Amino acid sequence: MTTPTILLIDADSLWASCFAPKESDDRFETNIEEIEYKFNEKVMKIENDIEEKYGSHFDVQHRMLFFEGHGNFRKGLNGLYKANRKPSDIPPLLNTLKALVQNKEVWVNTYPSFVSHNVETDDSLAATYNKWKGNGYEIIICSSDKDLKTIPCLLYDYHYMKQELVAISEEEARYNFYTQMLMGDTADNVEGIRGLGKVKSGKLLKDCKSTFSYNKVVYKAYLKQYGRNAKVEFIKAYSMLKLMTEGVYTPDLDSLTF
């Protein structure tokens, strides 16, 4: 028996594959019709793959696209947050694509959009998942972003090398989060602990069974590296990496077309 299902789709992780490679001279010259067609292909493939692989369990009835909006409270907490990302890396037609998808009637009727302001798209996805679950629908977050693996959820990783559905348990989510606390996140300019990768982080965390024990082990590593600044750096990294699941503006379930 299948369960009525809603897909929460991370659109921000999809757009990059719709443009020519960064190194290509013609990446800024791709016309918007071609970009829209590619984006549509990417979105449809997610749903088609889920139905093909897991159709006996899930009956996809609705879907919503999530986009990044203006502002991010994390930049107010840490001026270096994502400071390594350059405006020149963003294709000029990206905003045109976003506006088209968010306003064109054929898109709005099929894939309604939600724009995240002052938070990450990941925050909105996590908060919406928590808000909508248990309302008679199975909720699946569709994203290739590793940060979504730090919350308990049903996650479809649409990266071309993955394309798999995983159920992230509370313990897995906690382990993944504190692994990030140790490793940091170079993409977002979060330093973490120098020299720690997945293997070494795993060895440090292998005996942790509670949030207290995780905090104790990770803070000890911060003390070793940062000394008297350990508390400040620990709180800074925690604030940068922890997804917001409460106190975030989210769409209402009835905003979908039923």
pLDDT in tens, 128-165: 999 999 999 999 999 999 999 999 999 999 998 899 99
Are 184 and 194 in contact by the 8 Å Cβ rule? The answer is: no
List, in sequence order, every residue forming a beta bridge with 55; answer none if it has no partner.
none
Distances (CA, A) of 141 to 98, 189, 190, 228, 234: 20, 25, 24, 40, 28
DSSP category for residue 190: B
Q: Read off the pLDDT of residues 155-212 as tens digits, 9 standing for 90 and up.
A: 999 998 899 999 999 999 999 999 999 999 887 888 899 999 999 999 999 999 999 9
Alpha-carbon gap, residue 236 to 185, rounded angstroms: 13
pLDDT value of position 128: 97
Higher-confidence residue: 22 or 32? 32
Band (26; pLDDT cuts 50, 70, 90) = low
> Quick check: 66 and 124 in contact, CB under 8 A?
yes
Reading phi first (left if > 0) and then psi (alpha if -120 to 50, else beta), residue 192 is in left
Which is nearest to 81 in space by CA: 240, 222, 244? Answer: 240
Global pTM value:
0.92
How do residues 44-98 score in pLDDT, each as one tens digit?
999 999 999 998 999 999 999 999 988 888 887 777 677 666 666 777 788 899 9
At residue 64, the pLDDT reads 96
Has residue 222 got a pLDDT over 80? yes
Q: Which two tokens stand for residue 98?
A: 């976003």
* SS3 label, residue 60: strand
In 78-229, alpha helices (H): 94-103, 105-110, 121-132, 170-183, 198-205, 211-226
Residue pLDDT, tens place only, 231-256: 999 999 999 999 999 889 999 998 78
Whole-number pLDDT of residue 189:
81
Non-local (6+) Cβ contacts of 119 within 8 A are 72, 73, 244, 248
Note the pLDDT of residue 193. Answer: 94
Domains of the chain: 3-169 (3.40.50.1010), 170-241 (1.10.150)
Mean of pLDDT values over 115-122: 93
Looking at residue 255, what is its pLDDT? 79
What size, in residues, is the chain? 258
Residue carrying structure tokens 């992230």 = 168
